[in-house]
Amino acid sequence: MAELHFFTGTMDSGKSTLALQTNHNHAARGRAGRIFTANDRAGQAQISSRLGLTHEALEVGPDFDFWRYVVESLTHGGRIDYLICDEAQFYTRDQVDQLAKVVDELQIDVFAFGILTDFRTALFEGSQRLVELADRMNVLQVEALCWCGKRATHNARTENGAMVVEGEVIVVGDVDDAGAAPADVAYEVLCRQHHRRRLTAARAKAVSLAPEPLPFG
């Protein structure tokens, strides 16, 4: 029986790498699949891993219809055994419903990969619906780490080096490099404590380099 799988984790937990590996494993067994993504940092119609792996993909815009695409492909003689759906947090509620329908009505496996919450710690629309509908939900075992060494559980957005908790939900950027100059918009994974305190790696470094107060009084 086909199933709807949802693999989730913070940034840096290897979701896109696993998506590409899943596609490789199924294709190596002679199965035919399609790869989808949305708002990947590498640009449109690309799925990319921070390990340097890339693969062409179909871009999922807000008006994309998974059910229509699959039915039309099958009607025209195409073969589809599974779907790989990366950046699934950006999918709409209706699109996740379409994926569930593909699984139930056409018996095609769907493997979705995405982040649970945004930089405000609120559930993404697509991820929320996947949690509600998925046959299997898997939390990735590769733990991303906060700058302090604890397990990272929250995704933070920085603008010009400062953490923000307001703004547009979808703004594409990559994980900030602590050794480089702050990007206009970047992301960083933090533990809950430091996300709550808005204490990013750059800010923690600045605090640690601040001169010690004189011991007067």
Query: Considering 3, 72, 87, 168, which one is annotated as catalytic?
Result: 87
What does the block give as tokens for 83?
């779907």
C-alpha–C-alpha distance, residues 141 and 123, integer Å: 20
Residue 111, beta-bridge partner list? 5, 84
Residue 26, classified by CB atoms within 10 Å of its CB into exposed (0-12), middle (13-18) or buried (19+), is middle
Contact by Cβ (8 Å): 67, 102: yes
Whether 159 is a known active-site residue: answer: no
Phi, psi dihedrals of residue 159, rounded to the nearest 5° = -125, 115
What does the block give as tokens for 112?
């979705």
Active-site residue list:
87
